[in-house]
Amino acid sequence: MNYDYDLFVIGAGSGGVRASRIAGSLGAKVAVCEDLYMGGTCVNVGCVPKKLYVFASEYSSHFEDAKGFGWQTQKTPFDWATLRDNKQEEISRLNAIYDDLLGNANVEVIRGRGRLVNSHTVEVNGEHFTAERIVLAVGGWPFIPEFSGSEYAVSSNEIFDLTEFPQRLAVVGGGYIAVEFSGIFNGLGAQVTQLYRGELFLRGFDDEVRDVAATEIANKGVDLRFETDVTSIEKLPEGSLRIHLSTGDALEVDAVLYATGRKPKLTDLGLENVDVAISERGYIEVNDQFQTSEPSIYALGDATEGMALTPVALEEGMALARYLYNNEPCKLNYNNIATTVFCQPNIGTIGMTEEQARAAYPNLVKYRSHFRAMRHNLGGSKEQSMMKLLVDGDTDKVVGMHMVGADAGEIMQGFAVAMRMGATKADFDATVGIHPTAAEEFVTLRDPVVDD
Ligand SMILES: Cc1cc2nc3c(=O)[nH]c(=O)nc-3n(C[C@H](O)[C@H](O)[C@H](O)COP(=O)(O)OP(=O)(O)OC[C@H]3O[C@@H](n4cnc5c(N)ncnc54)[C@H](O)[C@@H]3O)c2cc1C
């Protein structure tokens, strides 16, 4: 049978762009449809604008610390509109780059929402396109539960572009996105309250890391309220919002950010016309080759279950394209993927948490260091850093690495290579440090911690 395309990709986000670009460059006839923005979540309402705002938020502590180094700084006003508009300009530049990348790989870009008509046909703007294979790279969408006043809450999609800077912000949620936005707005000068219904935020991260991060974030001025839920939100006549809490308290704020999770964006995708299995948790089910239960349809990235991270979606897109059009093996190794929470200070993590490592390795040896980074000795900040290595005592292999401290994201990337290669504690010990840095702590940890 003749199709219009070899591959039709729905969604031009991290995974979809990578899959179509690589497939196109390998000679396949490819089209990708996108109904919102080129580059998807990461470029438009995720990693990129978030990191730009993290940079912006760090200046306040730098201005403060500069005094100890002799800089006579005045209180410097912050202008939200400048940050927001400059961010938008940068994103428009990136959107154009994504268009060019696809054009250069001979990928046809079709603007509009894609709907599956059958296992080989996608409809966009009323037009039907047939393809031998279809990839669902539709990503995720923020989820705000419905309750009285939930319409006043904004999601991470809107928070970047608020018209007015919220002087008082409530952030609801305990995942990494919630924690990052608390840090951003706190650094930009807002009075931030973070509300989380669980005992401690960042579930899934190493427990000690979660504790240290909570202490440091609270010391920076975020009002952390755990075991606290929102019961309703009321709009007051003068425009501010009153949040009623499960504790019986109420809180008045200018904006409420709900960062309580994301769900695959599957509405109105035409899934009823095909035989694509969806898991109980609402994700598209795939095998190791990203194939759904409908053999001609594939899915990857945030629409499938797994680590919802841009580099993961990119790897999946690349692996799928090479598998389909270059005969390469497809199975990805998801172990030891380094991640960072861009809060202040950063959290960087690779491999197992201490809880996982203790369950897996009976002879686990733990190394840990708490210290005040050199910069703060003159700067005056009380911020503490923590680094920890988890080693399997039987093989000497490093099975987990964690850091809470400035630039943890930058520091951990290199160590992720070492862990991927199976580095042992002896390898770390034999590595000469770079002095004076915080990162050298990782290669000078000598005394195991007898557990506390
Ligand atoms: C606030 C925030 C911060 C984040 N920070 C980080 C970070 O620091 N590091 C990191 O690695 N990850 C981060 N992420 C996660 C990262 O953005 C995602 O994991 C990544 O974008 C997933 O890529 P994807 O291709 O699966 O989906 P997406 O990038 O979401 O792309 C899906 C695309 O499909 C389009 N689409 C959906 N349905 C249709 C349809 N029917 N027709 C046409 N188009 C459609 C959407 O408009 C979208 O452009 C962050 C996410 C958020 C929300």
Ligand 1 closest atom vs CA 113: 42
Which of 168, 171, 138, 167 has its CA nearest to residue 155?
171
CA-nearest residue, atom 10 of ligand 1: 309
Q: How many CB atoms lie within 10 A of CB 104?
A: 11
Q: How far is the CA of 47 from the centre of ligand 1 (A)?
A: 9
In tens digits, what is the pLDDT along the chain, a chain of 452 residues?
799 999 999 999 999 999 999 999 999 999 999 999 999 999 999 999 999 999 999 999 999 999 999 998 787 899 999 999 999 999 999 999 998 999 899 999 999 999 999 999 999 999 999 999 999 999 999 999 999 999 999 999 999 999 999 999 999 999 999 999 999 999 999 999 999 999 999 999 999 999 999 999 999 999 999 999 999 999 999 999 999 999 999 999 999 999 999 999 999 999 999 999 999 999 999 999 999 999 999 999 999 999 999 999 999 999 999 999 999 999 899 989 999 999 999 999 999 999 999 999 999 999 999 999 999 999 989 999 999 999 999 999 999 999 999 999 999 999 999 999 999 999 999 999 999 999 999 999 999 998 65
Q: How far is the CA of 93 from the centre of ligand 1 (A)?
A: 18
Could you check whether the bond before residue 448 is cis, i.e. omega within 30 degrees of 0?
no
What's the pLDDT score for residue 331? 83
Q: How far is the CA of 433 from the centre of ligand 1 (A)?
A: 38
CA-nearest residue, atom 38 of ligand 1: 138
Ligand 1 closest atom vs CA 142: 53
Pocket test for ligand 1, best of 310, 341, 346 (most atoms within 8 A of CB): 310
C-alpha 116 chain-centroid distance? 29
CB 381 within 8 A of CB 65: yes
Q: How far is the CA of 91 from the centre of ligand 1 (A)?
A: 14
C-alpha angle 144/149/150, rounded to 5°?
5
What's the pLDDT score for residue 75? 78
CA distance linking residue 428 with residue 133, whole number of Å: 46
CA-nearest residue, atom 35 of ligand 1: 11
CA-nearest residue, atom 52 of ligand 1: 46
Q: What is the pTM of this model?
A: 0.96
Pocket test for ligand 1, best of 42, 271, 272 (most atoms within 8 A of CB): 42
Residues 6+ apart with CB under 8 A from 301: 11, 13, 14, 15, 16, 137, 139, 308, 312, 313, 316, 317
What's the pLDDT score for residue 76? 83
CA distance linking residue 404 with residue 386, whole number of Å: 5
CA-nearest residue, atom 23 of ligand 1: 14
Q: How far is the CA of 310 from the centre of ligand 1 (A)?
A: 7
State which amino acid sits at residue 182: S
CA-nearest residue, atom 45 of ligand 1: 11
SS3 assignment for 186-222? HHCCCEEEEEECCCCCCCCCCHHHHHHHHHHHHHCCC
CA distance linking residue 46 with residue 139, whole number of Å: 12
Pocket test for ligand 1, best of 20, 32, 47 (most atoms within 8 A of CB): 47
What's the pLDDT score for residue 35? 95
Around ligand 1, the residues with Cβ closer than 6 Å are 10-16, 33-37, 40-42, 46-47, 50, 113-114, 137-140, 156, 177, 265, 269, 301-303, 308-311, 313
CA-nearest residue, atom 51 of ligand 1: 46
Q: How far is the CA of 286 from the centre of ligand 1 (A)?
A: 18
What's the pLDDT score for residue 188? 97
Q: How far is the CA of 40 from the centre of ligand 1 (A)?
A: 5
Active-site residue numbers? 435
